[in-house]
Chains A and B, each alone.
Chain A
Amino acid sequence: MAMAALRREGKRFALTSPNPINVLRSSLAPSEERMSLGVRGISTQIVRNRMKSVKNIQKITKAMKMVAASKLRAIQVRAENSRGLWQPFTALLGDTPSVDVKKNVIVTISSDKGLCGGINSTSVKISRAMRRLTSGPDKESTYVILGEKAKAQLIRDSRNFIELSITELQKNFLNYTQVSVLADEILKNVEYDALRVVFNKFQSVVSFLPTTATILSPEVVEREAEAGGKLGDLDAYEIEGGETKSEILQNLAEFQFSCVMFNAVLENACSEQGARMSAMDSSSRNAGEMLDRLTLTYNRTRQASITTELIEIISGASALEG
């Protein structure tokens, strides 16, 4: 990345600046290049060019930070409002991440754009570990990927296990209708016993917790209810409406999936903006430090060239005098 290259260049200057003799030698190096063109004296052009580009980068990253901060403000309100949506389902059906099923589908949510810190890599790492966790002799798990960044990472080694990938989710304003249509598509095209949604939950501007929410298919819900345990008292619930219990459970599972997806997508978008804010903040701070070091080098180079000129003049004058 460009920032890494610049950081390396800055380190080179930082290493050469502490020792004054080395400064002259290093500043003579650019002048050697210029000597061949017939220009006398040590040139500060190179350092000045570097300073200009670092300053531009600092401006750009500061602007990106401001943009991310304003987007975060807008979306944080919506994410917090949507948090009440999945709680009733968890209150009813409990949370069973350790459920043992044959077909697992891991829905990984990531961002489309980069420069947002490590959240996408975290999601991908967790997804891969979930896949290892849920694979076994007669169990299998596949991926459904939302977002460009996770797709780029997962396609390298798990290309055969990706069922669906969806990108450009945030092109239009995120709303429940869009997410429910998406959830519908996923449910239509993918066979599943358990859906595990992996996303980054937004806890605060500097903290994003990787989270996984589990949604069971209606058959598995019935099986677990009969087996007892967390869902054991599901049978105590009377079913109103519909002909059969399985029909209601089917609708409930689909509704739960779309609600959980909506919250997950919003939380991930919040985490993306927050991570981008902190990444851009640290990079503009880095650029500022690099600029300070370059300024010191520039001043030293400039003073060295002035000193050299003075020495030449004075030695020339003293040679004339005799």
Chain B
Amino acid sequence: MFRQATARLLSRSAAASPKARPFSTDLESAPAADQAFVDAWKKVAPNMDPPKTPLSFMKPRPPTPSSIPSKLIVNFSLPYASELSGKEVDMVIVPATTGQMGILPGHVPTIAELKPGLMTVHEGNDVQKYFVSSGFALVHANSFADIIAVEAVPVDRIDPTLVQKGLAEFTQKLNSASTELEKAEAQIGLDVHSALSSALSG
């Protein structure tokens, strides 16, 4: 038992010396920029350890493959949860400001701003529908799609009667709005509710 413990200690100390933390993932591309920062830091504050940067906490992404992969890897994150992380799917359709945009594996790298609308995730015959408020969709060259939204709900949790009520309320607010700000707010509410009702029907 002691032999195992000492062997484990030795291996852990040997592994810990080159890396900062024993369980950090290996960083292939990160050290380049960090090294300049670390050097500049050492000049200013030689007695302090430099602070960590977000790149050291992230798993590195795979490089662009030469052939188009068969599946798209989707990360769908919200402030309160990561709905999908690293899920392999066939296709994702997101509500970009220019309309519904479909993302397939091998899609050209894109930065798309989203408007409130329906988002569908297709995996085989399985389709998951979410209603997203605005956000961003980033598609990378290595068939990774990151969708970041502020709020998203599965469509089956939306109450249709409340949607109708909201539509009526915001139409009435828009008609009675006086200042630009009120008009803009009422317009936004109306847009979101009409998107909700079309998501429920479509």
Contacts and interface: CB of A to CB of B under 8 A. Distances in A.
B45 A129 contact: yes
A94 B75 contact: no
Interface string B123-136: 00000000000011
A30 to B, nearest CB: 46
Contact of A210 (B52, B140, B144): B52
In the complex, which of the residues B33, B140, B150 has the most CB atoms of chain A within 10 Å of its own CB atom? B33
B41 A129 contact: yes
B77 A88 contact: yes
Contacts of B33: 94-98, 230
8 contacts: A84-B82, A84-B85, A91-B58, A94-B33, A97-B34, A176-B80, A238-B111, A239-B111
Interface of B: 21, 30, 33-34, 36-37, 40-41, 44-45, 48, 51-55, 57-58, 61, 75, 77-82, 85, 96-98, 101, 108-113, 135-136, 138, 140-141, 144, 146, 148, 150
Nearest to A236: B109
A126 B49 CA distance: 9
A82 interface: yes
A242 B80 CA distance: 27
A259 B33 CA distance: 22
Contacts of B112: 239-241
A132 B33 CA distance: 19
In the complex, which of the residues B41, B48, B111 has the most CB atoms of chain A within 10 Å of its own CB atom? B111
Chain B interface, DSSP helix/strand/loop, else mixed? mixed
Interface residues of A, number: 51
Contact of A240 (B45, B113, B146): B113
Given A84-B85, A97-B33, A251-B113, 7 more contacts: A87-B58, A90-B55, A125-B48, A201-B52, A209-B52, A211-B51, A248-B113
Given A91-B146, A126-B51, A133 B140 contact: no
A74 to B, nearest CB: 13
B53 A82 contact: no
Given A95-B54, A132-B44, A85 B30 contact: no
B96 A240 contact: yes
A149 interface: no
A201 B77 CA distance: 19
A212 B53 contact: yes
Contacts of A260: 54
A92 B57 CA distance: 15
Interface in A94-150: 94-98, 125-126, 129-130, 132-133
Contacts of B98: 240-241
A-B CB proximity, top 5 nearest: A88-B146, A241-B97, A84-B82, A240-B112, A95-B55
Contacts of A133: 40-41, 44-45
Interface in A155-177: 176
A200 B79 CA distance: 19
A294 interface: no
Given A91-B58, A94-B33, A96-B33, A236 B79 contact: no
A141 to B, nearest CB: 12
A318 interface: no
Contacts of B54: 86-87, 90, 95, 211, 213, 260
A92 B138 contact: yes
Contacts of B41: 129, 133
